[in-house]
Amino acid sequence: MRASLRPRGPILISIFLLLGLECLISLAVAQNRQLNSQTGIQEPVRTANAVRVDRPPRLDGTLNDPLWQQATPTNNFLQREPFEGQAPTEKTEARILYDRHDVYFGITCLDSDPKGIVASELRRDVSQELDDYFEIIIDSAFDRRNAYVFQINPLGTQRDALITEEQRSDSDTGDGDPGWDGVWTSEARVMDQGWTATMAIPFSTLNFMQSQDVI
């Protein structure tokens, strides 16, 4: 990610799935895991509710489907680079829905200069470090050591990877081992105000083969 005030690099969310009666999803933005270098105060863990729906939302890269409006947007993100812990200069929103089989993400990345959006990579699993992209890291076992990585750029190009025992890859290739390929769907659209994306990740991809709580 280049040292820029504009969102020329990743929006990164770590998601710990806690499948309970309300399918609460605890969102711990990656920037908040570390102590704030300026204040020395640990940022609190943030949460977002995933809303149960009876049918999948339309996954066309837009949030035009009325189902997305049922989810309260999560938008209290902070910077990781170049100024860790500070408010971002551009607004990003994430909406989360789920049904018996999948969890769905509706992403809005606003940009005050949409002509400056960088999107060039069309090959799956190739590093998107020079593109704008949105990345979700899901710790489905809630052990804070292993996780699934799902990444998409404004062209809809996918990159997925696996983090095992907290191992980190070279920063030039992105988070996790891209040798892992999961089953998931996504689409993205560039618009006048930025870009949007929709993603559907099956619970089976996250090794939730059966759960008494997802009904």
pLDDT of residue 202: 94
pLDDT of residue 214: 53
Residues lower than pLDDT 70 in the chain: 1-46, 166-174, 208-215
Residue 72 lies in a domain: yes
Number of domains in the chain: 1
Residue 2 lies in a domain: no
Domain span at residue 24 reads: 10-206
Residue 57 lies in a domain: yes
DSSP class of 148: E
Backbone phi and psi for residue 204, each to the nearest 5 degrees, phi listed first: -65, -30
pLDDT of residue 15: 45
Q: Is the pTM of this model over 0.85?
A: no
> Domain of 141: which CATH number?
2.60.40
pLDDT of residue 142: 75
Residue 1 lies in a domain: no
Contact 28, 154 (CB under 8 A): no
Residue 211 lies in a domain: no
Residue 83 lies in a domain: yes
Chain segment 85-141, per-residue pLDDT in tens: 888 888 999 999 999 999 999 999 999 998 899 888 878 778 888 888 998 988 877
Residue 214 lies in a domain: no
Residue 5 lies in a domain: no
pLDDT of residue 125: 73
